[in-house]
Amino acid sequence: MSKTSTIFACAKCSAQSPKWSGRCFECGGWGTLKEELKATNDKKPKNDFSTPAEIIDLNTIKLSDFPRTKTNISEVDRVLGGGIVAGSLILISGEPGIGKSTIIAQIANKLQGNTIYASGEESAHQVKDRLIRLSSDLSKIKFISETNINKIISSLKQNKVELLIIDSVQTVYADDIENEIGTINQIKACTAKLMEFAKSTNIPVILVGHVTKDGAIAGPKNLEHMVDVVVYFESDDASDYRILRANKNRFGSTNEVGIFEMASTGFNEIKNPSLLFINKNQENLPGSVKSCIIEGTRPFLVEIQALVTKTSFGYPQRKASGFDLNRLQVLIAVLTKRSRIDLSNQDVILNIVGGHKSIDQGLDLAVCAAIISSLKNKRISHETVIIGEVGLAGEVRLVSKLKERVLEANNLGFSRFLTPIGFKNTNIDITEIKAINDLVNCI
Ligand code: TYD
Ligand code: MG
């Protein structure tokens, strides 16, 4: 026999509680708990073995490449793994104002077919203003000013389009779901409807999602598992550069990054991204070193700065910006134990210039070099690039893509290299460093 019981569910985060309270214990929202009737069934349902699921023989499935449409913006295509796959659901997330609406408008403009741009955030006037600023072809991009997802989807059934854009997922709602707009339940329900639409019509959908600095509770993080592709749009605060990074891709790798520069007419692709984070011709000061990291499949040159000063009080300080602090502490311990460099009463501050963050192990040797250079107050020439991983025994280990790193830096005008054993080229001045002590002797 079934009976009903009362529960209280939060309208914002859907957390359930047996008792009413003024504040949701899960998300902290005030006055969000609403009474709901819940039917409970005392009898356990009987197992029903009468309708079997279909068993598929995988040998009969024919494999074909995913049909992709190139966006003709090479940095976007690179991140998406070669273009937009038909019927895929792509989530672009990033902080407000980073340029999500701009990049998707540029993508829509580059496609051959028509795009429907549904926005609950901006008026037709604002969207047109942006499209004109981006010199878009207005005949290809149609606008829907609607937030009801059911209405948006049904209007698409009557129009032939190549791409649907929803800007943003936080502003759409499904009228058959009770929760408030912007709540997790609404966002999930709308995403599920869009997924069904994309798969049944083969029309790709790009969803825009805002991430706030405090990682808002109803944010796009909650729907990352539901979509095919998740790309993050990031920036470092100091510059106009934007980095597009795939965080999940059911149709390609997640290694690649795309780099753009914001101009008055939208985003431009960066022609020579390897030099993005450094000033190539500037003389190095003591403590500054150039290295080369790999982001995705591409090499980027970075500059590392270390400041080593005598500890004036208590324990020596270690600070790192853009580099893992634990890794810095390990490298300091290795330097102290395995070389003549004693850092036990020295403060060490490390920074990757330009706000870049990296966990590339190939930076180890350059970090050690920057520390030694600052401690000895000796300059390392600005034409030198230092690459290599440092082991706990003080040995210098080979890193992935050493050849690509050296050749790229050499093409960009760097002439001297300190690297682990592994790549030789008679035309390039490469000094092989076997152990951390060899590095100390070079500086
Ligand atoms: P927008 O795409 O609206 O950001 P989001 O959708 O992520 O919130 O644009 C962000 C900023 O970019 C906005 O402050 C204005 C600036 N911008 C330019 O500098 N140049 C341009 O051509 C455009 C379209 C925008
Ligand atoms: Mg926007």
pLDDT at 438 over 80: yes
Domain boundaries, the chain: 2-41, 67-271, 276-442
Instruction: Calculate the average pLDDT of the chain.
Output: 86
Q: Which one has a higher pLDDT value, 180 or 288?
A: 288
Residue nearest to atom 9 of ligand 1 (CA): 99
pLDDT (0 to 100) of residue 148: 93
Structure tokens at 306: 């270390």
| Cα of 71 from ligand 1 centre, angstroms | 20
Q: For residues 272 and 262, give the distance between their C-alpha atoms in angstroms, rounded to a whole number.
A: 15
- Give the Å distances, CA to CA, from 425 to 293, 406, 416: 20, 10, 12
Residue nearest to atom 8 of ligand 1 (CA): 97
* Biggest distance spanned by C-alpha atoms of the chain: 85
Residue nearest to atom 2 of ligand 1 (CA): 99
Q: Which one has a higher pLDDT value, 415 or 1?
A: 415
| Cα of 209 from ligand 2 centre, angstroms | 9
- The one-letter code for the residue type at 285 is L
| Cα of 98 from ligand 2 centre, angstroms | 8
Q: For residues 11 and 22, give the distance between their C-alpha atoms in angstroms, rounded to a whole number.
A: 13
pLDDT (0 to 100) of residue 62: 76
Q: For residues 166 and 183, give the distance between their C-alpha atoms in angstroms, rounded to a whole number.
A: 17
Q: What is the architecture, at CATH level 2, of domain 276-442?
A: 2-Layer Sandwich (3.30)
What is the pTM assigned to this prediction? 0.73
Residue nearest to atom 20 of ligand 1 (CA): 264
Please report which ligand is nearest the Cα atom of 120: 2
**Mean predicted confidence (pLDDT) in 279-304:** 84
| Cα of 331 from ligand 1 centre, angstroms | 41
Of the candidates 403, 441, 437, the one whose C-alpha atom is nearest the C-alpha of residue 419 is 403
Which of 24-28, 55-59, 113-117, 232-236: highest mean pLDDT?
A: 113-117
Q: What is the CATH number of domain 67-271?
A: 3.40.50.300
Q: Beta partners for 280?
A: none
pLDDT (0 to 100) of residue 3: 56
| Cα of 97 from ligand 1 centre, angstroms | 6
Q: Calculate helix-pair angle for 124-133, 100-110, nearest 10 degrees.
A: 70
pLDDT (0 to 100) of residue 179: 75
Which protein residues are within 6 Å of ligand 1, measured from CB? 94, 96-102, 130, 133-134, 262, 264-266
Q: Which of helix, strand or coil describes residue 140?
A: coil
- Sequence-ordered list of residues with C-beta below 8 angstroms from that of 62, at least 6 positions apart, any chain: none
pLDDT (0 to 100) of residue 376: 93
The lowest-confidence range among 215-219, 275-279, 382-386, 405-409 is: 215-219
Which of 102-116, 179-193, 267-281: highest mean pLDDT?
A: 102-116
Tens-place pLDDT, residues 237-259: 556 688 888 888 998 887 778 88
Counting residues of the chain whose pLDDT is more than 90, the rounded percentage is 42
Give the DSSP H/E element, type plus range, for residue 269: strand 266-269
Give the burial class of 380: count Cβ atoms within 10 A of its Cβ; 0-12 exposed, 13-18 middle, 19 or more buried: buried
- Looking up tokens 């449409």 gives 69
**Mean predicted confidence (pLDDT) in 422-432:** 89
Tens-place pLDDT, residues 5-19: 778 887 777 788 888
**Confidence band of 184 (pLDDT split at 50, 70, 90):** confident
pLDDT (0 to 100) of residue 1: 47
pLDDT at 290 over 70: yes
**Confidence band of 217 (pLDDT split at 50, 70, 90):** very low
pLDDT (0 to 100) of residue 346: 93
Which ligand 1 atom sits nearest the alpha carbon of residue 240?
Answer: 19
Q: Which one has a higher pLDDT value, 61 or 119?
A: 119
Q: For residues 181 and 188, give the distance between their C-alpha atoms in angstroms, rounded to a whole number.
A: 11
Q: Calculate helix-pair angle for 184-201, 149-158, nearest 10 degrees.
A: 10
pLDDT at 414 over 50: yes
